[in-house]
Structure 1
Amino acid sequence: MISAKTIGRAVRNSRRALKLTQAQLAEAIGKTPDAISQIERGVNVPSVETVAALSKELGVPIDDLIFPDAAPEHSSVRGTRVRQGLSILMRLSDRDLEIAVRQLQAFSGE
């Protein structure tokens, strides 16, 4: 069963893993900090549109926000960071992507 508290906890954990404040997350998805607080405390169940926006901004699959216990491999801080990085890379221009790939290769020693 989908619970407001379960969604709220998943949003809070994902937000904290990215070191975002409630205000930063709210601004990014066009909501108020109070709305994010209410979601995280389980006071309100977010709309489908809000869950989709949270998923995109936090870099986690929608399923991880709604059913966080069903996908433990996606709930790690490392997994969140990797998905966030992929999301950023997907939005880069071809030129910037090439630069980013070269930098990643340099970090990894390839």
Structure 2
Amino acid sequence: MVSDLKTLIGTRIRIAREVAGMSREQLAALISRTPEALGNIERGASLAPLDTLGLIGGALSIPLSDLVGEEPQAKSRRVEIETRAIALIRTLNNSELELALEIIEVLKRRATNAR
């Protein structure tokens, strides 16, 4: 269970960093850690202390709860897609966000009608 959580948190951090267009070295410098230490966190090889996770969240403009919130029986691909979507959503202005929401609602209606 702890291993799954480490992997989940690491995946979320890596995806958010990539969406932010930040290299591992850049993020590591912002949080005063080595790129190797950050790589271990992203791969789930180690679990960062809460203060480090807070620094990472701050540097990536992501709430700590989004990084550490556990998803029981989460499928890794789904977690990756949702994390990427959330990170991209945070980069949109209000009008872009409204358009994205309309598109998602159309997709949902199509899926519901197809059943």
TM tier relative to shorter chain: 0.5 to 0.7
Q: 1:63 to 1:31 in 2, by over 3 A?
A: same
Q: Contact (CA 8 Å) 2:9, 2:67: kept in 1 or not?
A: yes
Identity percentage of aligned residues: 26
Q: CA deviation at 1:80?
A: 3.1
Is it true that 1:45 corresponds to 2:47 in the alignment?
Answer: yes
Q: CA deviation at 1:75?
A: 4.6
Once the two structures are overlaid, the 10-residue window that deviates more, 73-82 or 33-42, is: 73-82
Is it true that 1:58 corresponds to 2:53 in the alignment?
Answer: no
The one-letter code sitting in structure 1 at the alignment partner of 2:41 is I
Q: 1:48 to 1:8 in 2, by over 3 A?
A: same
Q: 1:69 to 1:16 in 2, by over 3 A?
A: farther
Is it true that 1:79 corresponds to 2:89 in the alignment?
Answer: yes
Structure 1, unmatched stretches of 5+, are 86-110
Moved over 4 A (4+): 72-75
- Output the TM-score relative to the length of structure 2: 0.62
CA-based RMSD of the aligned residues comes to 2.7
Q: 1:41 to 1:33 in 2, by over 3 A?
A: same
Q: Could you tell me which residue of structure 2 aligns to residue 23 of structure 1?
A: 25
Distance of 2:17 and 2:84 partners within structure 1 = 14
Q: CA deviation at 1:67?
A: 1.8
Q: CA deviation at 1:73?
A: 8.6
Distance of 1:68 and 1:29 partners within structure 2 = 23
What secondary structure sits across from 1:30 in the alignment?
A: coil
- Output the TM-score relative to the length of structure 1: 0.65
Q: Contact (CA 8 Å) 1:39, 1:46: kept in 2 or not?
A: yes
Q: CA deviation at 1:76?
A: 2.3
Distance of 1:10 and 1:77 partners within structure 2 = 9
